Amino acid sequence: MSDLESCMITIIQTFHQYSGQKCNLKKADLKELINNEMNNFIVKIKENDTLDKLFADLDQNGDLEIDFKEFIALIAMVTSACNELKAWQGKGKRS
């Protein structure tokens, strides 16, 4: 499996690690995932209104849960921002 393919698997596994059996992220799950797994790219969420705003932006179907499609949209946004900020240059390629 290529690095790119195993990264896609890792993205899926990380989502399920925090969504558990229900396959959707509640607000607390999203906060925990971002603060644990994305704190080099996204400022740690402390204020509830920051979380509420982000959650509302991601929750495209308004069901008060983040499904995988809504989660991967966050990953795509943050990855695109990193690409534009050239944040990736100088980072060692995964072995």
Catalog residues that contact its own copies under the rule CB under 8 A.
Answer: 1-16, 36-41, 68-69, 72-73, 75-76, 78-80, 82-84, 87-88, 91, 93-94
Q: Which amino acid type is present at position 52?
A: D
Q: How far is the CB of 77 from its own copies (least distance, A)?
A: 9
CA-CA distances (angstroms) from residue 48 to 17, 24, 70? 22, 20, 20
Q: How far is the CB of 59 from its own copies (least distance, A)?
A: 17
Q: CA 9 to CA 7: how far, in whole Å?
A: 5
Q: How far is the CB of 65 from its own copies (least distance, A)?
A: 15
